Structure 1
């Protein structure tokens, strides 16, 4: 049963809590809750959440365009944590229609939103509409343009099914990249080997590249577009019209 405290007030209470405490609250108060997994932040949350509830739901998106290293990493994580990891796939007919009409790299010519909508947003929406809450690895310092003000708990109006509410937890909102990697090293948590080759924020292979010294981590994502557009839609509420 969810807590009757308004989320805006609850966010104020949880803002100074540790990620583990935020996860404990989420797991204690939401039966239909799942953790979204893709990168370094998410693996930290999996490592923490498994200490609270070994049976926590974990899902990830397979867009069909991930790096080979990422596919290998997904399997490493599944085996390491003995997860019943749910992998979400895009609708084959929608992908075929897009590729037949625009080719395999249409996002370089227009923008990435259409491709991400088919390969990420549609399968994510289908999953989230079965849940009461979900957990993400978003951090405020990941993207000053779109994530600087994310709360640790929020009402996700974008993906909620009609007539229902969907609560979104961001337990690492106040953590830095350094704090994430300090945890990974201290707890010997598995991570994507692409990180050792200069990839910081890792998405689909055609849309991700390594970053150089002093470049922000999101500069390696959709580098041909404006910084204010560097969201795929998974966290659509971050982008203000």
Structure 2
């Protein structure tokens, strides 16, 4: 893959992504208009609605294909999707830096649930990124690393869909405290978050009650799990996301901001 060189010598500028698609394709105008109408009409009534109601609404109203995004931190959304939106695809973002336990959960999800599991991957492998931008970009410029390995791959893979389901919870921190259950993303797609009212206790109870696939690190001090290179365990009582990008001035990867 040919990448233009930066003024820093043999390394590329991390502000410039590698060659290839980086954005979501355009929605048909009629779908964009219908999505906007749906948000205007239904966002308020769904704001504090239960997860099953939100997903039943999505199955009835989304004007096209639906993707359910999974971090594999837990498999609640996979279970709910199997029950309430069985025609939706499951979408997993494999950054190339995940814990092995996360990848094992993804394999288990693929075996357990009948929906198609789509795996989105970055343009560059880890080795290619190291060669192009230098080793340890996640430490030197975590925003650039997240952009190239999370934000852009997800954007590209959302192109076929009219809407996507996220696992956002308001309890996850102040940046998410007022997250809507239904909104439009920057591309005009429906962004649907059925777990916004859930706490970690609610999540754990649902996992236990329904014998869901469990990410083993969630019982080892990792209430929020991202890339292995950028996630640490947290102490009891700490913000659940305190272990994400520990030591960095960063709290979000960019997928929801």
The TM tier, using the shorter chain, reads 0.7 to 0.9
Kindly report the root-mean-square deviation, in angstroms, between the aligned alpha carbons of the 2 structures.
1.9
Following superposition, the deviation at residue 224 of structure 1 comes to: 1.1
Greater helix proportion: 1
TM-score, normalised with respect to structure 2: 0.81
Alpha-carbon distance, 1:200 to partner: 1.0
In the alignment, the residues of structure 1 paired with residue 35 and residue 147 of structure 2 have an alpha-carbon distance, to the nearest angstrom, of 32
Q: CA deviation at 1:10?
A: 1.4
1:85-164 counterparts in 2 under 5 A?
85-92=117-124, 98-109=129-140, 111-144=141-174, 146-157=175-186, 160=187
Shift of 1:51: 1.2
Q: Unaligned 5+ residue runs, structure 2?
A: 1-30
TM-score of the superposed pair, with normalisation by structure 1: 0.86
Query: Larger Cα Rg: Structure 1 or Structure 2?
Result: 2
Secondary structure of the 1:10 match is helix
Question: Does 2:251 correspond to 1:230?
Answer: yes
- Count of residues in correspondence between the two structures: 224
Query: Is the CA contact 1:40–1:180 (under 8 Å) kept in the aligned structure 2?
Result: no
Q: State the Cα distance separating 1:34 from its structure 2 match.
A: 0.6
Does 2:53 align with 1:21? yes
Which digits, 9 at most, give the CA deviation of each residue in 1:168-187, with x for residues without a partner?
00111111111111111011
Between 1:100-109 and 1:123-132, the stretch displaced more is 100-109
Q: 1:119 to 1:4 in 2, by over 3 A?
A: closer
Q: Choose from 93, 103, 108 the match for 1:61.
A: 93
| Farther-moved stretch of structure 1 (84-93 vs 4-13) | 4-13
Task: Write the distance in 1 (CA, Å) between the matches of 2:111 and 2:124.
Answer: 27
